[in-house]
Structure 1
């Protein structure tokens, strides 16, 4: 599929009365299936408080990114291909329909008044009677579909240490000692929320950047921080009632003098998710970019994977499309998919992009590393053609070219 290019035609119109500038840009469509998704435009010298984004006569909502001086908006394929920005116009007020709201230790990402995604920053304790060693903060739960089905699961009795969407490293070596940040019951390590670097609300997105610490309980007389992580999560509107999008970026470094080794193992790091207890071997499917399914995907590599299952009302399906970025280590990325006869024959669903599945990874001291993922949460069906289009948009973002007239 060819890339979609944004060709921005820069036209300056000067009237005697207003001296108003107008910028017109056009989306040049390549071959292949197009999808709704976020696009950005660099404002240059423009003042974000004094512009209006239009598609024809329709005012288009956007968010302003102060760090990059860009506006972000959602391109809807049903719109015309021409957009325009008016400068020195009275900027139209666009309601912030996406919000991040703190509720009893959860940061909830909401569309309107509907909560869709939660990040647990407060300490969560397992059920009464279960060892408190399994307590945890710093994970995504719940992920809720547009129609209200919760797809994540925490503290499953077969794995008390499973927490929705999370990515601790499993077999690691600090100097000569092995430390496990995944299996909390061993008491070797954990990953905990530290603080929020930022929280954002907007007209087309909401998100946060959270500092998390990977804490080593084993190699020192007192706990030490083995990894510092910034977890960035952003929920995007897709101008559809049946889908929304999540970007998930983990940036990390180690302060340890000799660094840390991530040993090759079938679990660890990346992006892991324990799915709802409603899904099992008879009502849950997997399809990867390489054509693998629930029976064959484990241990293989993929650009993307669709995990879907029966909706709670039994009348349809829903699920998540997982996308791995081309810059991720070991891309196309290895996966862990639980065997269909696991969990005493139930075949519960666990999925992970696992960049150390086949090869160890040496993390050097004070060096920044990054892993980027995207998820599309959907109702109904999501085809392999659509999955490929979403991946192309993620891996090869649209380019913007300005032409001054």
Structure 2
């Protein structure tokens, strides 16, 4: 399958060349000064194009050096990059010639009745809807849609997202259409489908990959302006990149979400400042309400005070389906994003007739407009940790640091 530049931000492991690019016995030893793994697990990669060694990139085994000896660990090669999971106290690794055998979980991707399902060891974690989803019988078909993520599942299988709730039929799990936009002086709304002014639909898959470390895809989505011309016109081209990371633990996984977009329109598109729109939004399960879900941001704001404020990260969690615990999502915004630390839309506790249903969004245009110029590329990068039970503030901060930092890995003599 054709590969393109994957647009999700990853923790880059830089290779520091010290005049030695290989060893004499078909081994490559690596050392990192990254100390984040003592608190959190996170993905890293090595750019194989910068390593001159005849054993690469095939017939290799990756070992983590431990006190008990070398331990083979899963890895995955994609676009000439070798990916693996950085965890534990060990900071030394060895790449060695050998027969690579499956030693990790299976992180899989498959099509199923209009859904692209991403799973770990046959347990689905999320689905991307590429087929058209129609609203319930009796509801105007104007609310039909493709190009969204649902369900988002907790590690043990609780559904965390919701689509087509009766109070907002245009809500579709995890998605990010722009709301108040201007095209040639007319307001076009890609969010509120019922207005009939705009929509966002799946177009085609660009690439997919799966292995022992992650499953990923990039999808082309088209943002259609339905009103300013005699027929629908393409207002925005979007490349949505999704990557599911296996953390090799039963209670957490990482999900990366990157949207890269441009407009072909000569006069561009203006994203007006508004409390909803773009970024990364999620309508949560109807099980959660004001009495059983909580919010905590990097700036110590809670469900009552977080709406409209800015944050680097935000933890949203609530009661699990069996009532015997909690689960939730840590949302992280990248410093390169528009308006970072990023503004948020979080529903107040009196939403939906006092039920206090949960809606979260990183909304980069909440407080200021954003002009999208013709043929210029823009990008927003997010990472999530989906978890069972709890996730502490120090862990949240460590995950965010791992998301944005670039620990260095050096090649050393054997």
TM > 0.5 fold call: yes
- Residue 75 (str. 1) matches residue 86 (str. 2): yes
**Any idea what SS the aligned residue of 1:155 has?**
coil
Any residues of structure 2 matched to 1:384-399 within 5 Å, and which?
Answer: 384-399=393-408
Partner of 2:309: 300
Q: For residues 68-104 of structure 1, what are the alpha-carbon distances to aligned partners after superposition, in whole Å with 9 as ceiling and x for unaligned? A: x2100011216x32210014x3344557711111000
* Contact persistence 1:164–1:275 (CA under 8 A): yes
Change in CA separation of 1:32 and 1:101 when aligned onto 2, cut-off 3 Å: closer
Number of matched pairs? 394
- In 2, Cα distance between the equivalents of 1:382 and 1:193? 34
Partner of 2:164: 155
**Any idea what SS the aligned residue of 2:171 has?**
strand
Partner of 2:95: 85
* Contact persistence 1:4–1:29 (CA under 8 A): no
Any residues of structure 2 matched to 1:220-259 within 5 Å, and which?
Answer: 220-259=229-268
Change in CA separation of 1:219 and 1:7 when aligned onto 2, cut-off 3 Å: closer
**Any idea what SS the aligned residue of 1:49 has?**
coil
User: Which of 121, 125, 129 pairs up with 1:116?
Assistant: 125
Q: Displacement, 1:229? A: 0.1
Partner of 2:74: 61
- In 2, Cα distance between the equivalents of 1:6 and 1:262? 36
Change in CA separation of 1:48 and 1:180 when aligned onto 2, cut-off 3 Å: same
Q: Displacement, 1:177? A: 0.5
Any residues of structure 2 matched to 1:3-402 within 5 Å, and which?
Answer: 12-14=22-24, 20-30=25-35, 34-43=39-48, 44-46=51-53, 47-56=56-65, 57-66=70-79, 69-77=80-88, 80-87=90-97, 89-93=98-102, 97-402=106-411
Change in CA separation of 1:318 and 1:345 when aligned onto 2, cut-off 3 Å: same
Q: For residues 366-388 of structure 1, what are the alpha-carbon distances to aligned partners after superposition, in whole Å with 9 as ceiling and x for unaligned? A: 00000000010000110111000
**Any idea what SS the aligned residue of 1:133 has?**
helix
* Contact persistence 2:161–2:285 (CA under 8 A): yes
Q: Displacement, 1:403? A: 5.1
Unaligned runs of 5+ in 2: 1-10
Which of 1 and 2 has higher RCO (CA within 8 Å, sep 6+)?
A: 2
> Any runs of at least 4 consecutive aligned residues in structure 1 with deviations exceeding 6 A, and if so which?
3-9
Change in CA separation of 1:4 and 1:247 when aligned onto 2, cut-off 3 Å: closer
- In 2, Cα distance between the equivalents of 1:266 and 1:33? 38
Moved more, 69-78 or 338-347: 69-78
- In 2, Cα distance between the equivalents of 1:64 and 1:242? 25
* Contact persistence 1:11–1:404 (CA under 8 A): no
Change in CA separation of 1:32 and 1:116 when aligned onto 2, cut-off 3 Å: closer
Unaligned runs of 5+ in 1: 15-19
